[in-house]
């Protein structure tokens, strides 16, 4: 007896049930990616997008595209942080932040994004270790709060 491949098997089963004219259903295999893979990709893009945002900081029209890309990277980081941390810090903008001009808000967002780059790298490196110190969980909570603040700032710019 020879081994049959899936298409041959489906043809034989279809013939047995009198359904030769019908097309067998297509089965799509999906695999879950490692969440750290998405974080590492977004981390590299985040650095490039922050550099692009810095380059076009003065132009309201030109900074919309890198701002949107930065926000997508932040969403990736936050999605990951929500899976590994039970803390759910919130961000409520202060009156001073709400009253900033768009250029001032863009400058503060750029400053915060530049300060967060090493923290994002630290998060990714610590997650790949076998043993993580207890202080790491406090760090993740603070990082998540800063990312939420940056997301609010960036969201107002595009």
**Assigned token pair, 45:** 């893009």
Task: Quick: pLDDT tens for 120-139.
Answer: 999 888 877 778 788 888 89
- Greater pLDDT, 30 or 37: 37
Whether residue 88 is contained in a domain is answered as yes
Whether residue 15 is contained in a domain is answered as no
Question: SS3 of 18, please?
Answer: coil
Q: Which residue range is the domain that position 138 belongs to?
A: 33-157
Q: Tokens 């919130």 sit at which residue?
A: 90
pTM of the model: 0.74
For the residues 59-68, what does the mean pLDDT come to? Answer: 92
Whether residue 5 is contained in a domain is answered as no
Q: What is the 3-state secondary structure (H, E, C) of 115-139?
A: HHHHHHHHHHHHHCCCCCCCHHHHH
**Domain count of the fold of the chain:** 1
Whether residue 98 is contained in a domain is answered as yes
Whether residue 17 is contained in a domain is answered as no
Cβ 114 vs Cβ 51: under 8 Å: no
Task: Quick: pLDDT tens for 135-151.
Answer: 888 899 999 999 999 99
Q: Tokens 């800063």 sit at which residue?
A: 146
pLDDT at 72 over 90: yes
First vs last C-alpha separation in the chain: 65
- Listed in sequence order, the residues at least 6 apart from 141 whose beta carbon sits closer than 8 Å to its beta carbon are 85, 87, 89
Whether residue 126 is contained in a domain is answered as yes
């Amino acid at each position: 007896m020879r081994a049959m491949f899936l298409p041959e098997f489906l043809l034989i089963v279809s013939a047995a049930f009198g359904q030769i004219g019908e097309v067998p259903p297509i089965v799509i295999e999906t695999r879950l990616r490692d969440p750290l893979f998405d974080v590492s990709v977004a981390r590299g893009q985040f650095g490039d997008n922050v550099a692009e945002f810095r380059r076009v900081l003065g132009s309201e029209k030109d900074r919309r595209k890198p701002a949107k890309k930065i926000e997508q990277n932040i969403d990736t980081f936050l999605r990951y942080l929500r899976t590994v941390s039970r803390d759910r810090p919130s961000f409520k903008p202060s009156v001073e932040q709400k009253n900033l001009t768009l250029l001032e808000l863009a400058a503060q967002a750029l400053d915060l994004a530049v300060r967060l780059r090493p923290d994002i790298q630290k998060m990714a490196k610590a997650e790949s270790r076998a043993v993580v110190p207890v202080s790491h969980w406090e760090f993740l909570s603070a990082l998540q709060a800063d990312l939420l603040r940056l997301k609010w700032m960036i969201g107002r710019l595009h």
